[in-house]
């Protein structure tokens, strides 16, 4: 039976957001939930923080599957797309999901019968935005970006980046070729639209801002225009995930 207090992927896009710094003590237990292939991959990370983010994301995913798809075996081994994206085999009745992590944040999205993708980015002031923007934007969009005031470019760049990457992840695509073909708005907004030169049916897609700390940017993409988003902060206590609802318009509380 699904826990209605934790959202229902059958009727909404459910998003969990966690601070990595809050999960330190829980990492051994989260790692124990990973399948053999995931545990082996975790050992190959060069930097401890990258390893911790991977374990946190995959461990929280296992908790999510246990909560929303209790018939999925705890020992299930994931299958992977040719781009390395994990999937639950179609023989199991499980929601679709997306994972993203950056710096101190880890996020997951769950949805039944809908395509979802999310992306988190830490906004680095030192990044060469003009060089990167020229690579990921269409020619017209790049001209519009150049016209922005310098003080507005940081948030605008990461807003465009996360919106585009969330959309491409939801479609199961990589970012190496699709970014210049997709156009999104530079302006802030709780929801926004997307256009894709390769697909004339993108009116069904919506991009939703996620409630993340002010030095981060996060967006969720979903191919159901009317599907609501239910956001929760996630912590692990005594081996169980504790969720607290957060309004999409509110920032995520600071790490403890």
Checking if the pLDDT of 89 tops 70, the result is: yes
Domains 10-114+232-248 and 116-226 alike in fold: yes
Check residue 239 and give left, alpha or beta (phi > 0: left; psi -120 to 50: alpha).
Answer: left
> Fold for domain 10-114+232-248?
Ribosomal Protein L22; Chain A (3.90.470)
- CA distance to 21, 34, 157, 231, 234, per residue, from 7 (Å): 24, 24, 31, 8, 12
Summarised one tens digit per residue, pLDDT across range 106-127 is 999 999 999 999 999 999 887 7
pLDDT category at 210 given cuts 50, 70, 90 is very high
What per-residue string of b and e applies to 174-189 under the rule 16 or more CB within 10 Å gives b?
beeebbbebbbbbeee
| Mean pLDDT along residues 178-207 | 88
pLDDT category at 180 given cuts 50, 70, 90 is confident
Q: Does residue 107 contact residue 101 with C-beta atoms inside 8 Å?
A: yes
Helix axes 139-146, 150-170, angle to 10 degrees: 150
Summarised one tens digit per residue, pLDDT across range 44-68 is 999 999 999 999 999 999 999 999 9
Domain ranges of the chain: 10-114+232-248, 116-226
pTM (2 d.p.) = 0.92
Which 8-state DSSP code applies to residue 250? S
Average pLDDT of the chain? 90
Candidate from 2-6, 101-105, 129-133, 159-163 with smallest mean pLDDT: 2-6
Q: Does residue 17 contact residue 247 with C-beta atoms inside 8 Å?
A: no
Question: CATH code for 116-226?
Answer: 3.90.470.20
Query: Which positions ≥6 away from 142 have C-beta within 8 Å?
Result: 133, 134
């Amino acid at each position: 039976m699904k826990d209605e207090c934790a959202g229902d992927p059958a009727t909404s896009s459910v998003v969990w957001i966690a601070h990595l710094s809050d999960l330190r003590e829980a990492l051994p237990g989260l790692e124990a939930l990973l399948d053999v292939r995931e545990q082996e991959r975790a050992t190959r990370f060069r930097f401890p923080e990258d390893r911790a983010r991977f374990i946190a994301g995959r461990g929280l995913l296992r908790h999510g599957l246990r909560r929303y798809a209790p018939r999925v075996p705890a020992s299930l081994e994931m299958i992977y797309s040719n781009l390395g994206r994990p999937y639950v085999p179609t023989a199991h009745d499980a929601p679709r999901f997306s994972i993203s992590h950056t710096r101190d944040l880890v996020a997951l999205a769950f949805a039944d019968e809908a395509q979802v993708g999310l992306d988190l980015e830490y906004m680095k002031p030192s990044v060469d935005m003009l060089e990167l923007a020229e690579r990921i934007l269409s020619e017209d969009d790049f001209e519009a970006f150049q016209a922005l005031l310098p003080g507005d470019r940081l948030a605008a760049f990461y807003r465009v980046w996360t919106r585009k990457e969330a959309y491409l992840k939801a479609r199961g695509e990589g970012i190496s070729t699709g970014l210049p073909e997709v156009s999104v708005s530079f302006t802030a907004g709780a929801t926004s639209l997307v256009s894709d030169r390769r697909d004339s049916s993108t009116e069904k897609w919506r991009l939703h801002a996620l409630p993340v700390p002010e030095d981060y940017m996060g967006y969720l993409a979903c191919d159901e225009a009317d599907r609501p988003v239910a956001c929760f902060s996630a912590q692990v206590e005594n081996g169980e995930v504790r969720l607290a609802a957060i309004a999409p318009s509110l920032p995520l509380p600071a790490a403890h």
